[in-house]
Amino acid sequence: MIQFTIQDRTGDRQPIEIPEGINLSLMEVLKASDYNILATCGGMALCATCHVQVLNGLDALSAPQDAELDMLDTLPDAESDSRLACQIRIDESVEGAIFRIKSDEPV
């Protein structure tokens, strides 16, 4: 099992456990766990509606690719610990990480 933590927009933290070997992105896990995120582009690093901040475990994650960095550059509130949830694969690198949902709530 891979374990990590999600902090929602109200500051609430919930642990999440995912079996190893499941090929999902963090965005897909957030959607499946009923977190309110848009993920408009379906994971193509084109919309940034899956923006998260990595509060713990940033260095262990695989490095962002160009498309992700380009998109993050267009966000007014991106920080050095910002990532796009759709570009983060759920594997052992996310063990123990804490992700804060940064994107706006869909209205």
Partner 1 sequence: MITTDICIIGAGPVGLFAVFEAGLLKMRCHLIDALPQVGGQLSEIYPQKPIYDIPGYPAINAQVLVDNLMEQIASFNPGFTLGERVEGLDRQSDGSYIVTTNEGTAVHCQVVVIAGGLGCFEPRKPEITNLERFEGKGVAYMVKNPEQLRDRRVVLAGGGDSALDWAVFLADVASEVTLVHRSDTFRGAPDSAEKVFNLASQGRINLVLQSTITSINGNGHLQEVSITAKDKTVTTLPADHLIPLFGLTPKLGPIADWGLTIDKSAIHVDTTDYSTNVERIYAIGDINTYPGKLKLILCGFHEAALMCQSAFRYVHPDQKLSFKYTTVNGVPTF
From the list 9-17, 25-33, 71-79, 86-94, the region that binds partner 1 by CB under 8 A is 71-79
Least distance to ligand FES, CB of residue 68, Å = 8
Burial annotation 29-66 (CB, 10 A radius, 16+ → b, else e): bbbeeebebebebebebebbbbbbbbeebeeebeebee
Q: Which residue type, as a one-letter code, is found at position 85?
A: A
Contacting residue, 24, 38, 55, 58, with partner 1 by CB under 8 A: 38
Q: Is 72 in the site for ligand FES (CB under 6 A)?
A: no
C-alpha closest to that of 94 among 66, 55, 65: 55
Closer of 32 and 44 to ligand FES (Cβ): 44
Q: Which residue type, as a one-letter code, is found at position 77?
A: D
Q: Which partner in partner 1, ligand FES, ligand FAD, none is near 74 (CB below 5 to 8 A by kind)?
A: partner 1
